[in-house]
Amino acid sequence: MSELTALDAEIRDLLRFAAERSMLPRFRALAEGDVEMKGEDDPVTVVDREVEDFLTEALTRLAPGVAVVGEEAVHADAGVLDNLSDQCWIIDPLDGTANFTEGKEPFGIIVALADAGRAVAGWIYDPNLDRLCHVRAGEGAKINGETVSARTTGENPPVTAVSRMFLTPEEAAVLDAKLVAHYTLVDIPRCAAEQYPRLVLGQNDVSTFKRTYPWDHAAGVLWLNEAGGRAARLDGSEYRVDDGAGKPGLVGASSPTIWNEFIAHVTG
């Protein structure tokens, strides 16, 4: 019988409540004015803001004095990013917003706890499956209280989900030239809350990310690494939540061997 720790259960209940109150009732039912554009192909909804406000308040009550870095708070004030080098909560209130606005799954909620620039715990919640992927550094990766280990797809060639959204045409052409002969290329789900589970649960072997915001990746990187896969920067360096701009992209893989092989193809 699987059991959650008291903290995991409390955060699960917060995420479930936020989804049931704000997210699921508006799925495929967004009203006019519920969606705005923060930038090109970057929507934000009333759900993003409601969930972030609720979780910011709830996590602050749970751990007074610990800063909260939320995606929408950062959009409003980039100075919030300064908290990433200290102990802080990191929130993506609606990961997969573009999917959500189009009435499509997947989407989810991501919360991480970081200290001194490194994620130390994370929670990735899929409200459609009521699935909680959770992790604490050094304690392994879990789903709904059960320890999980990353497994490959077993496919040959390996299955690779490549994000092309933020690549230049030249970058995309180079990527294709280096990968097509060695991998089966599939679309990304446009949702880190789904992509990291795919790398652990035998659905994808590799995934690449050019944009590496901490609210998208802090929890997933830790969870994948604790499951026995590997997530790291393209140059092999550790992913840190306080890296800032200018760092090389991120690659996640279902095993360290597959990660190394992928990097060899990309850089060779």
- Within a domain: 189: yes
Mean pLDDT, range 124-144, rounded to an integer: 98
Q: What is the helix (H) or strand (E) element at residue 159, kind and residue range?
A: strand 159-162
In degrees rounded to 5, what are phi and psi of residue 151? -130, 150
Tokens of 227: 């499951």
Band (pLDDT 50/70/90 cuts) for residue 176 is confident
- For residue 188, which of 168, 161, 212 has the smallest C-alpha distance? 161
SS3 126: strand
Residue 84 has pLDDT above 80, yes or no: yes
Query: Of 148, 169, 185, at which residue does a domain stop?
Result: 148
Cβ atoms of 166 and 250 within 8 Å: the answer is no
Mean pLDDT of the chain: 95
| CB proximity list for 90: less than 8 A, separation 6 or greater | 69, 70, 84, 110, 111, 112, 113, 114, 119, 214, 215, 218, 219, 241
- Within a domain: 245: yes
CATH code (residue 59):
3.30.540.10
CATH code (residue 213):
3.40.190.80
For 78, which DSSP code?
G
251 and 212 part of one domain? yes
Could you tell me the residue range of the domain that residue 26 belongs to?
Answer: 6-148
Mean pLDDT, range 241-261, rounded to an integer: 93
Band (pLDDT 50/70/90 cuts) for residue 9 is very high
Does residue 216 have a known ligand-binding role?
yes
| CB proximity list for 129: less than 8 A, separation 6 or greater | none
- For residue 134, which of 7, 20, 24 has the smallest C-alpha distance? 7
229 and 248 part of one domain? yes
- For residue 74, which of 63, 60, 88, 58 has the smallest C-alpha distance? 88
Sign of CA dihedral 29, 73, 59, 84: positive
- Within a domain: 212: yes
Tokens 């180079």 map to which residue?
174
178 and 94 part of one domain? no
- Within a domain: 153: no
Please give the Cα distance from 124 to 192 (Å, whole number).
9
Does residue 72 have a known ligand-binding role?
no
Tokens of 192: 């880190």
Mean pLDDT, range 194-206, rounded to an integer: 98
The predicted structure's pLDDT at residue 259: 98
Please give the Cα distance from 104 to 108 (Å, whole number).
12
Half-sphere exposure of 202 (CA within 13 A, CB side): 6
For 158, which DSSP code?
P
Query: Of 148, 167, 187, at which residue does a domain stop?
Result: 148
Mean pLDDT, range 158-175, rounded to an integer: 83
Tokens 């209940």 map to which residue?
13
Domain count, the chain: 2
229 and 186 part of one domain? yes
The predicted structure's pLDDT at residue 17: 98
Mean pLDDT, range 163-169, rounded to an integer: 76
Does residue 3 have a known ligand-binding role?
no
For strand 159-162 and strand 206-209, is the pairing parallel, antiparallel, or unpaired? parallel
Mean pLDDT, range 135-157, rounded to an integer: 97
pLDDT digits (tens, 9 = 90+) for 31-63: 999 999 988 778 999 999 999 999 999 999 999
In sequence order, the β-bridge partners of residue 232 are 251
132 and 175 part of one domain? no
pTM over 0.85? The answer is yes
144 and 192 part of one domain? no
More confidently predicted of 131 and 181? 131
203 and 164 part of one domain? yes
Residue 1 has pLDDT above 50, yes or no: no
Exposed (0-12), middle (13-18) or buried (19+): which is 242, by Cβ within 10 Å?
middle
- For residue 104, which of 27, 46, 38 has the smallest C-alpha distance? 27
- Within a domain: 229: yes
pLDDT digits (tens, 9 = 90+) for 205-249: 999 998 899 999 999 999 999 999 999 999 999 999 999 877 889
